[in-house]
Chain A
Amino acid sequence: DAKTTQPPSMDCAEGRAANLPCNHSTISGNEYVYWYRQIHSQGPQYIIHGLKNNETNEMASLIITEDRKSSTLILPHATLRDTAVYYCIVRVGSNTGKLIFGQGTTLQVKP
């Protein structure tokens, strides 16, 4: 079973920030939080990942709470091309690449 909980869907106005929440209350100390997105029927695209500290790259920012039980992915200026299913994943174990995907959040960016 997935170790994360996400809202099934969200809307965002084009040009505004999209804030996608994720709960991972059972996360272990050495487990990373990863975010991927999947545009219809394409392979999932890596966005960002983090362990404890907040992270930022050219695509997004990741805010992880101090207790690490939840995180938020922020797309600072959403565009129509950001419409996709966003998956928050906790990578299981310390010696495996196995990713357990939940149902994700369908983000609809509207003009």
Chain B
Amino acid sequence: KAGVTQTPRYLIKTRGQQVTLSCSPISGHRSVSWYQQTPGQGLQFLFEYFSETQRNKGNFPGRFSGRQFSNSRSEMNVSTLELGDSALYLCASSTQNTDTQYFGPGTRLTVL
């Protein structure tokens, strides 16, 4: 069974732009969670989707948003990019939101 895939793998943007990252969960998984990883803050939870509904949200500004489609694929969007948004963005999927999560390889975002 294919693992979690994330696209693109690498992205370079400039301040003020917006970006959309995509996550395709493992087949049959309905829950998708997003995390941000930076050297200073470590791995931090962004939000969690289950059956197209946001079930949980971390402590991030409203510039960070997400959605989930009927096929369980998920996207996250960051608007008005700041230098501090440079990070590895990870998504994880699971069958139910309480089950074991499996992570994708991440998208490395660099904001210049």
Contacts and interface: CB of A to CB of B under 8 A. Distances in A.
Given A41-B88, A43-B4, A43-B90, A97 B106 contact: no
Interface stretch (A5-13, A66-74, A98-106): A98-106
Contacts of A96: 48, 55-56, 97-98
B98 A94 contact: yes
Interface in B65-112: 88, 90, 92, 94, 97-106, 108
A44 B33 contact: no
A44 B48 contact: no
Nearest to A100: B45
Contacts, number: 64
> Interface size class for chain A?
20 to 34
A36 B98 CA distance: 16
Interface string A54-91: 00000000000000000000000000000000010001
A43 B105 contact: yes
A43 B106 contact: yes
